[in-house]
Structure 1
């Protein structure tokens, strides 16, 4: 029997590959090779599943990054910022497609829109905290926004920007930070 997490992870895969309209109990059950009863064992209908899926997305694609950077990113805000850059650049298992799908869904659904606003605020807020701690007090908010907009923009470009080229763009942006050190390669 699939776990609750299995259903949520499969939902994120479906969302990233096929978009929000593909999120149906039938589609999820078929992909997991399970019965709909297994779905209803874990969730109280599709509305409950969608809410749980959004919470899972937020935890895995925002909270996990912040926690990992804080825990393993180093002793300084600058080190955590560079570690976070590498986490984002290394995590290319469909996360760009998922991010695009969630943003598209947010244009059509108030619950998803509220989630996207919260995720964006959290991500920019964490970047601002790191930039400020790295010595960029005066320009922390604009630089945090710039770093985040680079990621969002890079996810939208066709064809996608290779990680090494995006790393170069991030390095350039980080050199703009007042009182900041040169980024390490």
Structure 2
């Protein structure tokens, strides 16, 4: 039997590689090699799956990272640097982030999730930046850090993770 998490991972993979239109029950069951019964058992409907998928996306790519960094007994600057390393560690995340943003332009439920994710991420960055105590506006600095990531994911060709790390290193010098 396929677990709920396996369904959601398959959904995120399809979303990242082929976009929201690819997330159909047929594509998911083919990918997982199961029947539709398991899908309906876990999610009830396509709307239930979409809601669970967005909740899972938020938990995996926002809440989990914040919780990981918050658990550290470190100064805000060290937490900020660790957060940036975690975000840049998986180059495949960019495709998923782009796909979710594209979907959010067309679906109000996904848009609500994206707005919540963006708000949580920027609020956490602001919290960390306020703790650094630099001579820059911490709220604007936090926005800058987040916008660098989003912009780097949107340009074509995309900026590689190594180059993005260099850009962040340059940006972090503003608070030295």
Report the TM-score range of the alignment, normalised by the length of the smaller protein. over 0.9
Does the CA contact (< 8 Å) of 1:106 and 1:116 recur in 2?
Answer: yes
Distance 2:16 2:135 in 1: 36
In 1: Cα distance, 2:75 partner to 2:105 partner: 37
User: In the alignment, is the contact (CA less than 8 A) between 1:107 and 1:113 conserved in 2?
Assistant: yes
CA distance, structure 2, for counterparts of residue 78 and residue 106 of structure 1: 32
Q: Is the 8 A contact 1:15 1:101 kept in 2?
A: yes
Structure 2 stretches lacking a partner, 5+ long: none
Structure 1 partner of 2:26: 26
Equivalent position SS for 2:133 = coil
Question: Aligned to 2:157, what secondary structure does the other structure show?
Answer: coil
2:137 maps to which of 122, 136, 139? 139
Residue 166 (structure 1) shift:
0.9
- TM-aligned CA distance change 1:4 to 1:137, over 3 Å: farther
Q: Secondary structure at the match of 2:74?
A: coil
Matched residues, number: 176
Give the stretch that moved more between structures: 42-51 or 132-141. 132-141
The residue that corresponds to 1:129 in the other structure is: 127
Higher normalized helix content (fraction of residues): 2
Gaps of 5+ in 1: none
2:84 is aligned to: 85
1:175 equivalent to 2:149? Answer no
Is it true that 1:103 corresponds to 2:101 in the alignment?
A: yes
Say whether 1:63 aligns with 2:55: no
Task: Quote the Cα distance in structure 1 between the aligned partners of 2:135 and 2:20.
Answer: 40
> CA RMSD for the aligned pairs?
1.3
Aligned to 2:40: 40
Pairwise CA distance, 1:167: 1.1
Q: Assess, with a 3 A threshold, how the Cα gap between structure 1 residues 7 and 137 changes in structure 2: closer, same or farther.
A: farther
Q: Distance in 2 between matches of 1:167 and 1:159?
A: 17
Q: Per-residue CA shift, 1:50-95, capped at 9, x if unaligned? A: 00100000000101111111224x5111110000011011122x21
Distance 1:156 1:48 in 2: 29
Q: Give the match for residue 49 of structure 2.
A: 49
Deviation at 1:160, TM superposition (A): 2.3
Instruction: Name the CA shift for 1:120/1:42 in 2 (closer, same or farther; >3 Å).
Output: same
